[in-house]
Structure 1
Amino acid sequence: MEFSQQLINGLSLGSIYALIALGYSMVYGVLRFINFAHGDILMVGAFVGYYLTPRMQVFLGGFGLIPVGIAVLMSTMVICALLGVSIEFFAYRPLRKHPRLTVLITSIGVSLLLEYGGQILFGVNVKPFPSLLPSFRIPLGFGLSVASNHLVALGVSGILLLVLRLLVLRTRLGLAMRALAHNQEAASLMGINTNIIISLTFAAGSALAGAGGILYALNIHSIDPLMGILPGMKAFVAAVLGGIGSLPGAALGGILLGVVESLIGGSSISSYRDAVVFSILILILLLRPTGILGKVVQEKV
């Protein structure tokens, strides 16, 4: 019974990791570098939700909690998308022709800027995240139940994953993204505006991170300027586990990682669950560096 309950909790946590991991994979698939500032965009999304919620409650409170929650979520995604585009434009685009190590170091610098800038802007104290929905448990039978915030996380994550899949596979924008991921120079010669597509890729990934920040804050009930470090790193592990650069792989890796973490959290070795998560990263890099669904990519010399 305990195993089944932890499995349900793990699916909710894993869906949040999947959202964040998709941002890593989208950027890596197009530009072949890891944006280590991605986890801190999650933190910004949580704080945007924190400050937007009371204002949305004033304007939309008469319509109920669901419209308020949807408005906060959508507004946060838009703001985080704009933040992602700005980071790409000012920090990464000038370095596009430089060695990847230069861009990687820059992404670490952007991450530190967001973290310590957040401490100056938002303060260093932990803040309670406002309740966007009533807290209750839904019985599933056989002694199992699911918390309302876990159910919302699963539902919202599922919808966003489906929308992203349709965007990538069924639209001209998605076709351009896939062309860029395959061969950036050839895509440019075919008339694709690479700057716009790369900016939109950052926008989509950052919007998902913003949504992940709201859902993650609803689960932990508190926020602080350094809150994005651990879930960001775990989402990176999930992206590597599933296959960095593979969107289905990122989703699968996030779900698997969330389930493993929850199962360990409900066991006698719960204090070691973070160590186990990062041990999975080491094992994957040793045994299958391309991840579960990743493919070997040959690079030109």
Structure 2
Amino acid sequence: MELIQQLINGISLGSIYALIALGYTMVYGIIKLINFAHGDVFMVGAFTGFYLITVFHLPFVLALVLTMLITALLGVVIERVAYKPLRNATRIAALITAIGVSLLIEYTTIYLRGAQPAAYPEDIIPNKTIAISGLTISSQSIVILAVSVTLMIILELFIHKTKTGKAMRAVSVDADAARLMGINVDRTISVTFAIGSALAGAAGVAFGIYYIKIEPLMGIIPGLKAFIAAVLGGIGIIPGAMVGGMLLGIVEALVSAAGFSLWRDAAAFLILILILLFKPSGLFGKNIREKV
């Protein structure tokens, strides 16, 4: 029974990782860029939701939607200002730029509001526990899981059922061929950043509700763990990011339940080492031969 309880806790945490990982994997699938500023978009989402709820007294759902819109706009600005001019540059130049954007967001936030942490109100969602056959499930966990799964389903339908989603898949396969077929590649890339950033913003609000405490450097570790989740599932593969996030959350919950809570972060990075050693393409990825 204890094992099932930890699995439930791990799935709730993993759903947050999965939302962030989707942004990593979508951007990489389109332009082969590891956007290390993505974790800081997650942080901006957490603070945006916090201020919308505490200062403007908006209800949870409205605050969540507005946060997603604001972080989507932030994602587009980052792509247009920082990454678009480097579209044809070397990968190392884009990677260094991503790290620079990450630091810029972090320390701009500290400059604007200070480095002190903030705390989400505990009554945003009624804190009730549901007991089922000895299992205890909090209302926050249910809401977070429901929001995460709903957003993942909407994303999957968007990618496979809409014209823009088909354009995103085409660009991820061959951007030049997609351009010749009349697809606006620049707009498609911007849409990809917008969607990924919106999901990161939603994850930030979910994180604030789940852990209460937020601070300007909070995006570093969850961002790295979401990157690990994306690599675990197969970076560039959307279902892989979802499964990788869930698995990572479950592993962390089980490690904590075993009495090694201080080793949670180490377990995540151990997974990264093992997956790079034994299956670099990830669980859902396929090895592709490249001609030199």
TM-score tier by shorter-chain length is: over 0.9
Q: Which residue of 1 aligns with 2:160?
A: 169
- Do the aligned residues in 2 keep the contact of 1:56 with 1:71 (CA within 8 Å)? no
- Percent identity, aligned pairs only, is 55
Q: Which residue of 2 aligns with 1:121?
A: 112
Q: Which residue of 1 aligns with 2:201?
A: 210
Deviations 1:8-30 (A, max 9, x none): 10010011111100000000000
The answer to whether structure 1 residue 72 and structure 2 residue 56 are counterparts is: no
Cα distance in 2 for residues equivalent to 1:258 and 1:152: 17
Is the alpha carbon distance of 1:20 and 1:158 closer, same or farther for their aligned partners in structure 2, counting shifts above 3 Å? same
CA RMSD in angstroms comes to 1.1
Cα distance in 2 for residues equivalent to 1:157 and 1:177: 22
Pick from 246, 259, 283: which aligns with 2:237? 246
- Do the aligned residues in 2 keep the contact of 1:22 with 1:239 (CA within 8 Å)? yes
Q: Which residue of 2 aligns with 1:225?
A: 216
Is the alpha carbon distance of 1:28 and 1:53 closer, same or farther for their aligned partners in structure 2, counting shifts above 3 Å? same
Unaligned runs of 5+ in 2: none
The answer to whether structure 1 residue 255 and structure 2 residue 249 are counterparts is: no
Is the alpha carbon distance of 1:41 and 1:238 closer, same or farther for their aligned partners in structure 2, counting shifts above 3 Å? same
Give the drift of 1:299: 4.7
Deviations 1:264-288 (A, max 9, x none): 1111222111101100000000000
Q: Which residue of 2 aligns with 1:157?
A: 148
Q: TM-score, normalised by structure 1?
A: 0.94
Q: Which residue of 1 aligns with 2:92?
A: 101
Q: Which residue of 1 aligns with 2:31?
A: 31
Is the alpha carbon distance of 1:300 and 1:185 closer, same or farther for their aligned partners in structure 2, counting shifts above 3 Å? farther
Unaligned runs of 5+ in 1: 61-67
Give the drift of 1:136: 1.6
Q: Which residue of 1 aligns with 2:131?
A: 139
Give the drift of 1:295: 2.0
Cα distance in 1 for residues equivalent to 2:289 and 2:199: 29
Work out the number of aligned pairs and report it: 291
Cα distance in 1 for residues equivalent to 2:291 and 2:186: 22
Deviations 1:127-176 (A, max 9, x none): 11123211121112x21011111111100000000000000000000100
Give the drift of 1:300: 6.2
Q: Which residue of 1 aligns with 2:282?
A: 291
Letter in 2 for 1:293: F
Letter in 2 for 1:134: P
Q: Which residue of 2 aligns with 1:50?
A: 50
> Secondary structure at the residue paired with 1:138?
strand
Letter in 1 for 2:187: I
Q: Which residue of 1 aligns with 2:19?
A: 19
> Secondary structure at the residue paired with 2:130?
strand
Is the alpha carbon distance of 1:107 and 1:300 closer, same or farther for their aligned partners in structure 2, counting shifts above 3 Å? farther
Q: Which residue of 1 aligns with 2:256?
A: 265
- Do the aligned residues in 2 keep the contact of 1:80 with 1:203 (CA within 8 Å)? yes
Cα distance in 2 for residues equivalent to 1:112 and 1:101: 17
Letter in 1 for 2:19: L
Give the drift of 1:227: 0.5
- Do the aligned residues in 2 keep the contact of 1:31 with 1:181 (CA within 8 Å)? yes
Q: Which residue of 1 aligns with 2:191?
A: 200
> Secondary structure at the residue paired with 1:157?
helix
